[in-house]
Amino acid sequence: MSDITIIEALNKRLPRPLKQLKKISWITKGYVLNDNNKVTHLSILKCRLNGTIPQELFQLKELQYLDIRENGLKEIPQEIELLTSLKYIDIRNNQLSDLPASIGQLTQLQRFYLGQNNYSSVPKAVGHLNALDLIDFSDNQIRSGCEYLLDAPCLRNIYLNNNEITSFPFSQVKANQLEELVLIDNPLDEYTGTTRDKINRLVL
C-alpha cells in the first residue's frame, strides 16, 4: 500500500482531509512527501481522534516528524515501534500517563514532547531511547522516576517545569551529561548546588 493510499484511508477518520504541504509548522495540519512519495512529516493536531491513534498511521515507514497534540489520547499503542524513522514526536496536551516498552525501538528519536498530560512518574522506557536529545515533561504531576532520564545516553535537554518533584538525582548526573535541566515550579527540597558545575544551564 502506498503512502498516498494510507493518507486517503486516514482522511476517512478525520473531520477534514489533510492537505499536502511543502513544510510543516507548529500550527499547520497536513503532510509532507519526499521525492519518493513517502510521508516524512505528519501533523494531525486537534483532529478529534477521540483518544485513539489511527492504525493507518503506523504504516508510514518513513515518517520522521509526528505532531499529534490535543486529541484526547489516553495511551500510545505498542505499534509505535513500527515507526522506526521517527525523529520528532509532539504529543502534548493529551491524557497520557505511561509509555509502552516498545517506545525503546525508536532508535532515531531525538525530540519527545510530552507536556500537559497526566504523568505522575517518568516511565522507565524513556531510558531506552538511545538517540534522544530533548524531552519535555512540563506541566504534568511527576513525583518520581527522574532517574530513568539519566539512563538515556544522549539526553542533554530535560524540561520538568511545573510538576510535583521534591527531589532530583543530582548526584547521579555525570560531568557534561546535561546541557539544560529545567525544574522551575516544583516543590524541590533545598538544593545545595554541589552538582551545578555538571549542568550547563540549571533552572530551579
Mean pLDDT computed over every residue of the chain: 94
Average pLDDT estimate for 27-40? 95
Query: What was the pLDDT predicted at 100?
Result: 96
* Spatial separation of the C-alpha atoms in residues 170 and 198, rounded to whole Å: 9
Per-residue pLDDT band at 70 (split at 50, 70, 90): very high
How far is 129 from 105, CA to CA, in rounded Å? Answer: 8
Cell numbers found for residue 119: 504523568
Q: Is the pLDDT of residue 186 over 70?
A: yes
Q: Tell me the average pLDDT across 18-40.
A: 93
Q: What is the pLDDT of residues 51-60, one digit of tens each?
A: 899 999 999 9
Tell me how far apart the alpha carbons of residues 47 and 72 are, in angstroms, rounded to a whole number: 10
100 touches 123 (CB < 8 A): no
Domain chopping of the chain, boundaries: 3-160
Which pLDDT does position 44 carry in this prediction? 96
Record the cell numbers describing residue 131, joined without a space.
538517540
- % of the chain at pLDDT higher than 90: 83
pLDDT of residue 193: 65
Q: How confident is the model at residue 194 (pLDDT cuts 50, 70, 90)?
A: low
Nearest CA-CA partner of 160 in 133, 140, 187, 145: 140
CATH for 3-160 is 3.80.10.10
